[in-house]
Structure 1
Amino acid sequence: MKEFKILILLSVIVISLLIYNKKGDKLHCGDIAFVSYNSKGDDYFSIITLKQLQPHTVIYFTDAEWNGNHFNLGEGNLVWSSGDQTIPSNTEIQFKNIKTSPTTNHGFSIGELRLNANGDAIFAYVGESPKQPSTFIAAVSNDALEFGTLINTKLTAGHTAIIYPKHTYQANFQGDKSATKNNLIEALNDFNNYRLQKKNAAWAIN
């Protein structure tokens, strides 16, 4: 029964994706960014929109490594649909309980991501399926090696691909989330703007 429900939800998302693609208002690299990340215990992450998202926007997330042409197998995938409402720019979208039953404060999501507290990465992208990205939008990691590579993604380390200090397993951005797109991306890559928790360390401003 659970598998049947997942298939139904996937069908709804695929239909939404087709509708969205026909509108021609597609996402590009840097149109969202990650603003929080937790890879220990109750895994979660959040993104912020850097442009207005149209209804039925679909974004895929994975913690798989990219080899320049495709993702490796055996990792998690989460599929998110914005639903039937327009989402304004500078809106934070939260994803909680991503290990088992993901919930979100906008739209709906299915799938799961099991982040490794010792090191992991998340890619956000659009495409025809979770394993067929057409455009990479954003990425985040606590170790650059966890990306695999950024070749053929158009993502830039320290810009659209955020790399937290090594051994960070929890990060929450404390800066101005209403800033303009370029200013916000710059601020998100300045770790003085975060509360970071590293392995064997307490909360601290880096």
Structure 2
Amino acid sequence: MKKISLIAALLLSSQANAALNAGDIMFTSFNADEDGLSFVTFVDIAANTTIYFSDNEWTGSAFNTGESFNQWVSSSVVTAGTVVRFADYDKATLNASTGTLSRATVSGSSNWGISNSGETVYAYLGSSASSATTFLTAITNGTFATDGSLTDTGLTAGVNAMQLTSKAGASSNPDYAEYNGVRDGLSNFTDYKAQVANVNNWNVDTVNNSASAALIPNTTAFTVAVVTPVPEADSVAMLLAGLGVLALVRRRQSL
């Protein structure tokens, strides 16, 4: 029993510490007026994992400068389905609903706020804030053609990155957007990725310069449906046969 428990613990540990990949987290809200963001994780994030966030434009090979680099560190394991909210992104002290969000020191960093036009925010792993190794997701209230590239990031708009202006009727420079699709009932967390990546499942500003600073994003966790396994026909037949044999033995013993 101890060996089995140890093996189970090792398996769980290896899963929790598995490397993050593109689409394992995705943004669920964008608020340029409040200077806030939120994201959902579709996998368990190991304790002490560092994810970088930057609104500097990616050029296809590197980040430019002049805007912000921030880092978020998970203080404990963050379970799949958790929504993490960032607030006060432009303040000296940043806030995160889970883990710790802080400034990353990079030469040339400034302009800490989230712009209400032509702004792209990337989430990524890296050897440092300015040296991305694995892009996880991105969101823009402009376009990926002009306001920050997806070239050589491994990300694709509508798959694991969101271009908010792609939604019909959206403002050309939306201040605010939030995912308003399903958060429960799907069979696994992977199924939610397509839902979040589809901008038609988002509430996106239809006018420029909306007053959205007071809006609080939905941080309800995503959950998967609990499926009760149905015994296979062969298993049921074997069970019935076993019960029949048991009944026959007891009958003979009573004679």
Counterpart residue number, 1:17: none
Q: What aligned pairs does 1:81-120 form with structure 2 within 5 A after superposition?
A: 81-83=73-75, 85-100=76-91, 101-111=93-103, 113-120=112-119
TM-align CA RMSD: 2.1
3-state DSSP of counterpart to 2:175 = strand
Return the letter of the residue paired with 1:132: S
The reply to whether residue 30 of structure 1 matches residue 29 of structure 2 is no
Q: Residue 181 of structure 2: which of 168, 175, 178 is its match?
A: 175
Q: What aligned pairs does 1:1-206 form with structure 2 within 5 A after superposition?
A: 25-40=18-33, 42-83=34-75, 85-100=76-91, 101-111=93-103, 113-144=112-143, 145-165=145-165, 166-178=172-184, 179=186, 180-197=188-205, 198-199=207-208
Aligned 8 A contact 2:162 2:199 in 1: no
5+ residue gaps, structure 2, are 1-15, 105-111, 166-171, 213-255
5+ residue gaps, structure 1, are 1-22
Higher strand share: 1
1:84-129 Cα shifts (integer Å, max 9, x gaps): x211101000000000121011111102841111220100000111
Return the letter of the residue paired with 1:102: L
Cα deviation for residue 192 of structure 1 reads: 3.4
Cα deviation for residue 25 of structure 1 reads: 2.3
What TM-score results when the alignment is normalised by the length of structure 1? 0.80
User: CA 1:146 to 1:95, structure 2 compared with 1: closer, same or farther past 3 Å?
Assistant: farther
Number of residues of Structure 1 aligned to a counterpart in Structure 2:
179
User: CA 1:54 to 1:170, structure 2 compared with 1: closer, same or farther past 3 Å?
Assistant: same
What TM-score results when the alignment is normalised by the length of structure 2? 0.65
Q: Partners of 1:79 and 1:55 in 2: how far apart?
A: 14
Higher-Rg structure is 2
Q: Partners of 1:25 and 1:80 in 2: how far apart?
A: 18
Moved over 4 A (4+): 200-203
Cα deviation for residue 157 of structure 1 reads: 1.3
Q: Partners of 1:157 and 1:195 in 2: how far apart?
A: 17
3-state DSSP of counterpart to 1:28 = coil
Counterpart residue number, 2:228: none
Aligned 8 A contact 1:65 1:146 in 2: no
Q: Identity over aligned residues, as a percent?
A: 28
